């Protein structure tokens, strides 16, 4: 039996993941195969490695918090079927369409509101692409600006609660999902404000790329458009309060709140007269497929992490990172850079389950708050959806676009790059003012 040193385990496993991704094979199969192969040498045999992998997978799959994942996915899919996005757009269009860049600003605002009800970016970006993008292009908006707003606005759904990322991150970092939810609120809104500010400034200096909607197309009585806004916003507010309000007030933990959210989303779909057996069947099937994909990657990444830690990989990584120049901030910068580079090639779920068990102890040893550090990692992972070659947000946007629009991958990439820069600015802001992350969780009422 070959005796692998911790350094060899680290090099083989991390290098194997990056090389495996380039082959195009599904990520779950890659990390699972690497875990099994290296585990044979680390633990001394098939029975031993199988026992370690089974124990760790069983522990994460039976974690009560994980039940919230399919419930939040179902809630998001049901809302997508409810027609909520179309109603919200019609109202915001009348109020903000008269400004330069107004429709792009409406897109980001919709993305922000939808993010607080939908925890998956595929649903958020798809809703925005179908509801808003055709109108922007019809009004003469540049394709990069329009698609950038759709993609960046839709990606807020993975950060602003209820977020699948935060549900999966919490157990791995040993931190309350409820605290993560409220720690992510202000950063999510800050990113939204940065996106809107960028669009407004650019549209002011380049009016030809984001013209205002003519007044004759917005000529609706004040009371009517006010009523349209209220009837689209109030149901959303009720749904948000039914999920996040009970968590904040200490009435229920995230899992039970997710159940309430799924039920309320179904009621909204019924109220909007979009509910039928076909809708229910489609929502259930999409939920099953999405969760199947998520849990395959989760279980294989957990197996990978178990073998990596068992082989001494964490100690090697800790020694390298903690030896960085610049003290604790040098350590922080290296971790953020590693997460950024991994996000360009690897699915975020695998990054969470592979890297969080490694970097969390390093961050704690460096003196960082677990809550603040965790949210910073999640904000960093926003860029993973918009940085090629992986960039799932870009692919989702491209897939949701009608081919007749003539939108290319190049258009979307040019559109999202400024938003990637804004996320970096956001990270700097949250570093300088950590209270943006830590203040709201400190106000939570513990049940």
169-198: pLDDT as tens digits: 999 999 999 999 999 999 999 999 999 999
Cα 211 from Cα 447, distance rounded (Å): 50
**How confident is the model at residue 160, as a pLDDT?**
92
How far apart, in Å, do the first and last CA atoms of the chain sit?
Answer: 52
Distances (CA, A) of 425 to 183, 229, 231, 341: 18, 32, 35, 17
Q: Give this prediction's pTM.
A: 0.91
- Specify burial of residue 423 (Cβ count, 10 A radius: 0-12, 13-18, 19+): buried
Q: Tell me: the pLDDT tens digits for 98-138?
A: 889 999 999 999 999 888 887 778 888 988 888 889 989 99
Q: Tell me: the pLDDT tens digits for 323-373?
A: 888 889 999 999 999 999 999 988 899 899 999 999 999 999 999 999 999
Q: Which tokens in the block code for residue 389? A: 């070659």
pLDDT, mean over the chain: 90
Q: Where are the domains of the chain?
A: 6-442
76 backbone dihedrals φ, ψ, rounded to 5°: -65, -45
Share of the chain above pLDDT 90, in %: 57
Could you tell me which of 135, 151, 110 has the C-alpha nearest to residue 396? 151
- 172 within 8 A of 357, measured Cβ to Cβ: yes
């Amino acid at each position: 039996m070959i005796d692998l040193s911790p350094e060899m385990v680290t090099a083989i496993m991390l290098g194997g993941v990056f090389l495996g991704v380039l082959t195009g094979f599904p990520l779950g199969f890659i990390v699972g195969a690497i875990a099994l192969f290296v585990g044979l040498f680390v633990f001394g045999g098939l029975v031993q490695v199988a026992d370690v992998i089974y124990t760790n997978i069983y522990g994460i799959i039976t974690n009560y918090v994980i039940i919230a994942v399919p419930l939040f996915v179902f809630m998001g899919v049901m809302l997508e079927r409810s027609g909520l996005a179309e109603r919200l757009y019609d109202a915001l269009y009348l109020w903000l369409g008269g400004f330069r860049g107004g429709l792009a600003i409406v897109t980001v605002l919709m993305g922000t509101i939808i993010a607080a009800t939908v925890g998956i970016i595929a649903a958020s970006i798809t809703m925005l692409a179908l509801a808003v993008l055709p109108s922007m292009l019809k009004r003469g908006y540049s394709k990069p600006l329009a698609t950038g707003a759709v993609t960046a606005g839709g990606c807020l759904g993975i950060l602003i609660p209820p977020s699948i990322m935060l549900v999966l991150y919490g157990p791995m970092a040993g931190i309350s999902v409820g605290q993560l939810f409220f720690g992510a609120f202000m950063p999510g809104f800050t990113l939204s404000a940065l996106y809107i500010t960028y669009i407004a400034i650019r549209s002011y200096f380049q009016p030809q790329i984001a013209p205002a909607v003519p007044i004759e197309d917005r000529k609706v009585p004040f009371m009517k458009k006010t009523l349209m806004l209220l009837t689209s916003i109030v149901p959303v507010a009720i749904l948000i309060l039914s999920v996040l309000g009970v968590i904040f007030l200490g009435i229920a933990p995230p899992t039970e709140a997710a159940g309430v959210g799924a039920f309320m989303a179904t009621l909204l779909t019924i109220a909007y007269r979009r509910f039928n057996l076909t809708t229910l069947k489609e929502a259930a099937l999409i939920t099953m497929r999405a969760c199947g994909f998520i849990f395959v990657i989760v279980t294989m990444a957990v197996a990978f992490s178990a073998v990596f830690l068992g082989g001494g990989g964490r100690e090697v990584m800790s020694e390298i990172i903690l030896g960085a120049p610049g003290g604790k901030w040098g350590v922080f910068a290296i971790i953020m850079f590693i997460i950024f580079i991994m996000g360009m090639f690897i699915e975020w779920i695998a990054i969470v389950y592979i890297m969080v068990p490694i970097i969390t102890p390093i961050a704690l040893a460096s003196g960082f708050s677990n809550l603040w550090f965790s949210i910073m990692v999640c904000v960093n992972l926003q860029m993973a959806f918009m940085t090629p070659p992986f960039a799932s947000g870009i692919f989702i946007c491209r897939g949701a676009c009608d081919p007749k629009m003539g939108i290319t991958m190049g258009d979307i990439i040019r559109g999202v790059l400024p938003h990637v820069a804004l996320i970096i600015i956001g990270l700097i802001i949250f570093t300088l003012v950590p209270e943006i992350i830590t203040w709201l969780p400190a106000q939570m009422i513990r049940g």
